[in-house]
């Protein structure tokens, strides 16, 4: 009898201890955030990832009542930034601007060499933006994408990209495979030199994530022939998708917030709600849409499933032969 009472007493104390721990954790999460939050972006200032990162950082600061500071950490297509965040303390104070380039594509082309696991080492907070990739020509060259693709079948053409391993290079190679054409890739260190050579007639086409190039299109120097994605971009409704042309390549450059795996669910949910509220801001939507991207409010589990599906899309489109061109084993 005495032993059973002592055992019951110990169980009661354990339950009380667990309850107190739970209450303390809940109170701690209720105080979140109580200091500035860092948002790591894997590219230098001025690019699309930086623009969207600063847009959502401003909105999060307003919604959460604490500064959200953007830290630009370039290198390896955003991989260095993702590695830093994956190894950070999972307390909600270090976030990553995840992108198709350092999440989905990196998972496929780097495999075991990638210094983090996708999606296992992260907890998705919410997608922010989808930006299509586009096929560009000088304004006095091809009138349509069909004309350019027909020319590629009749003669040797070349296209500029950011080089092997970049999202533009991989996606254009997927387009070539689906279209049954051969266009020689010419690597460039940035869009500026590539566009200069395109306008000068040294290359025939240019393939890149569309929004940063849209100023040249609006200015009349370049022509956007086709875009990736499931649907046309509202900013350029007359430009067809590759899928409409019979080339089933729908991968885009997406941007979204993720945190290190193990970040408490209460914190992730609060961040996710703040992201949704920020994306509903009219000015945020206008800035995102003006150059061909679109805001996408896709929270948590839905975002995680999207990442898993995106990895599968790249895996289906990246052949062993293509991997060899990128010197990936």
Q: Which of 190, 223, 245 is the last residue of a domain?
A: 245
Non-local (6+) Cβ contacts of 122 within 8 A are 85, 86, 96, 98, 103, 116, 258, 259, 260, 261
The pTM (predicted TM-score) of the whole model is 0.88
User: Residues 181, 36: one domain?
Assistant: no
Report pLDDT for 72.
Answer: 96
Name, in order, each residue with C-beta under 8 angstroms of 222's C-beta and a sequence gap of 6 or more.
136, 137, 138, 139, 195, 198, 199, 206, 213, 216
**Residues spanned by the domain of 302:** 30-131+254-325
Question: Is 2 part of a structural domain of the chain?
Answer: no
Q: Within a domain: residue 18?
A: no
Residue 208 and residue 221 in one domain: yes
Residue 12 is assigned to a structural domain of this protein: no
Digits of tens for pLDDT over the chain (329 positions)? Answer: 455 555 445 554 564 544 444 444 444 457 999 999 999 999 888 777 899 999 999 999 999 999 999 999 988 889 999 999 999 999 999 999 999 999 999 999 999 999 999 999 999 999 999 999 999 999 999 999 999 999 999 999 999 998 888 999 999 999 999 999 999 999 998 889 999 999 999 999 999 999 999 999 999 999 999 999 999 998 899 999 999 999 999 999 999 999 999 999 999 999 999 999 999 999 999 999 999 999 999 999 999 999 999 999 999 999 998 998 886 44
How many domains, in total, are found in the chain?
A: 2
Alpha carbon of residue 100 to chain centroid: 4
Q: Which are the contacts of 285, defined by CB distance < 8 A and separation ≥ 6? A: 279, 295
Same domain, 239 and 224: yes
Question: Tell me, what's the pLDDT at 23?
Answer: 47
Q: Are residues 112 and 259 in the same domain?
A: yes
Residue 106 lies in a domain: yes
Quote the tokens at residue 271.
């961040």
CATH number of the domain enclosing 150: 3.40.190.10
**Same-domain status, 106 and 63:** yes
Q: Mark whether 185 and 202 lie in a shared domain.
A: yes
Instruction: Give yes or no: residues 146 and 172 share one domain.
Output: yes
* Domain end call among 245, 268, 294: 245
Tokens of 209: 């994530």
Whole-number pLDDT of residue 29: 55
- Quick one: 144 and 237 in the same domain? yes
| 120 in the same domain as 42 | yes
Last-in-domain residue among 245, 279, 299: 245
CA atoms within 13 Å, Cβ hemisphere of 115: 11
For position 324, what pLDDT does the model report?
86
Structure tokens that stand for 138 in this block: 């000088």
- Within a domain: 3: no
Q: Has residue 1 been placed in a domain?
A: no
Q: Please report where in the chains the tokens 């990638």 appear, as a residue.
A: 114
155 contact partners, CB below 8 Å, separation of at least 6: none
For the chain, give the secondary structure using H, E and C: CHHHHHHHHHHHHHHHHHHHHHHHHHHHHHCCCCCCEEEEECCCCCCHHHHHHHHHHHHHHHHHCCCEEEEECCCHHHHHHHHHHHCCCCCCCEEEEEECCCCHHHHHHHHHHCCCCCCCCEEEEEEEEEECEEEEEECCCCCCHHHHHHHHHHCCEEEEECCCCCHHHHHHHHHHHHHCCCEEEEECCCHHHHHHHHHCCCCCEEEEECHHHHHHHHCCCEEEEEECCCCCCCCCCCCCECHHHCCCCCCCEEEEEEEECCCCHHHHHHHHHHHHHHHCCHHHHHHHHCCCCEEEEEEHHHHHHHHHHHHHHHHHHCCHHHHHHCCCC
CB contact set of 288 (below 8 Å; sequence gap of 6+): 52, 55, 129, 294, 295
Is the same domain home to 260 and 233? no
Residue 10 lies in a domain: no
Query: Residue 41 belongs to a domain with what CATH number?
Result: 3.40.190.150
- The reply to whether 161 and 112 lie within a common domain is no
Would residue 159 count as lying in a domain? yes
Q: How far is CA 70 from CA 42, 246, 255, 278, 285, in A?
A: 10, 40, 15, 16, 20
183 & 35 share domain: no
The single residue listed with the structure tokens 């917030």 is: 257
CA distance 287 to 301: 26
């Amino acid at each position: 009898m005495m032993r059973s009472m002592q055992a019951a007493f110990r169980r009661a104390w354990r339950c009380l201890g667990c309850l107190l721990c739970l209450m303390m954790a809940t109170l701690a999460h209720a105080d979140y955030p109580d200091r500035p939050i860092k948002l790591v972006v894997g590219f230098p200032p001025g690019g699309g990832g930086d623009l969207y990162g600063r847009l959502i950082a401003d909105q999060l600061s307003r919604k959460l009542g604490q500064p959200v500071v953007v830290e630009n950490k370039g290198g390896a297509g955003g991989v260095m930034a993702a590695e830093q965040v994956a190894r950070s303390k999972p307390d909600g104070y270090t976030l990553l601007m995840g992108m198709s380039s350092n999440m989905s594509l990196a998972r496929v082309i780097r495999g075991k060499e990638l210094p983090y696991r996708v999606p296992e080492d992260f907890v998705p907070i919410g997608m922010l933006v989808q930006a299509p990739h586009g096929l560009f020509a000088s304004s006095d060259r091809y009138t349509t994408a069909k004309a350019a693709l027909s020319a590629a079948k009749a003669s040797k053409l070349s296209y500029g990209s950011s080089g092997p391993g970049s999202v533009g290079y991989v996606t254009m190679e997927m387009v070539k495979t689906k279209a049954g054409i051969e266009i020689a890739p010419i690597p460039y260190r940035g869009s500026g030199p590539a566009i200069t050579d395109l306008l000068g007639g040294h290359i025939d086409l240019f393939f890149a994530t569309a929004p940063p190039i849209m100023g040249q299109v609006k200015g009349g120097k370049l022509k956007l022939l086709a875009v990736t994605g499931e649907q046309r971009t509202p900013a350029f409704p007359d430009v067809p998708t590759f899928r409409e042309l019979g080339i089933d390549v729908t991968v885009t450059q997406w941007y979204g917030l993720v945190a290190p795996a193990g970040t408490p669910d209460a914190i992730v949910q609060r961040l996710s709600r703040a992201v949704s509220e920020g994306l509903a801001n009219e000015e945020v939507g206008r800035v995102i849409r003006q150059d061909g991207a679109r805001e996408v409010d896709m929270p948590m589990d839905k975002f995680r499933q999207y990442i898993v599906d995106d990895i599968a899309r790249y895996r289906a489109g990246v052949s062993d032969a293509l991997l060899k061109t990128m010197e990936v084993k």
